[in-house]
Amino acid sequence: MQLAGPGVFGPPKDREAAIAVLRAAVAAGVNHIDTSDFYGPHVTNQIICEALHPYADDLVIVTKVGARRGGDAAWLPAQSPADLTQAVHDNLRNLGRDVLDVVNLRVMGGGHGPTEGSIEAQFATLARLREQGLIRHLGLSNVTERQIAQGQGIAPVVCVQNQYNLIHRADDRLIDRLAAQDIAYVPFFPLGGFAPIQSDALTALAARLDASPMQLALAWLLARAPNILLIPGTSSLAHLAENLAAADLTLAETVKAELDRIAVSATA
């Protein structure tokens, strides 16, 4: 998402730097890339293709459909069968693939939070494209538990991508339920929505551990459940290295308890 231009719209300021980030990530052992053809639009997928094609056998590229960009960079719903079908073909073309590894249906709910409503028509469209051999696996993004259950009644769901972090824990129960089903949970906005007092407390604790606040937040997510799969975005080599180092940060139980206190500090 960070590899396109400002506001995830248009080309990046430095295309070669974006290519370098992708190649460095794969060289460091990253084998999962989260993207969408509405990043840019088309820009991010074209950069991924330029940087990494032909793709390594173990590289999983996960994309999502369900939105489009207006000429003013607005995020607009694109949920009709024709929209979704076109989006899948756009992803195939711009990524240079014959089949997409995973396609998430991004449900356009209330901003970064899901709202109830049927997803039957949308997910059935993607299920048909999967049956045609254009998609290997399906996932869901920005959804409720009821929508997940509805999707599972149509086709297997391999991952769910919702907003979740140290502060926003509405999906606590859902994460555990998905873990029991061996379904990946992919949290977005790992630092989004922190109150100033919470950010200050997180920064102070991270300093004591000789880590950055982002590293601490990512390490907490990794420790939260075995099915959590992280997608921290970046457009710089330095930030990439910082993100990857979070995997080496082990959190003592006392630190986890302190992080829990930070999570409730703004509402206590």
Rounded to whole angstroms, the Cα distance separating 76 from 101 reads 25
Rounded to whole angstroms, the Cα distance separating 98 from 197 reads 49
Question: Both tokens of residue 85?
Answer: 């079908």
Q: Are the C-beta atoms of residues 201 and 149 closer than 8 Å to each other?
A: no
Task: Please confirm, yes or no, whether 185 is among the known catalytic residues.
Answer: no
Is residue 2 helix, strand or coil?
coil
Rounded to whole angstroms, the Cα distance separating 95 from 53 reads 8
Q: Are the C-beta atoms of residues 253 and 21 closer than 8 Å to each other?
A: no
Q: Which of 39, 55, 164, 185 is catalytic?
A: 39
With vertex at residue 220, the alpha carbon angle to CA 222 and CA 174, rounded to the nearest 5 degrees, is 70
Rounded to a whole number of angstroms, the distance between the first and last alpha carbons of the chain is 34
Question: Could you list the active site residues?
Answer: 39
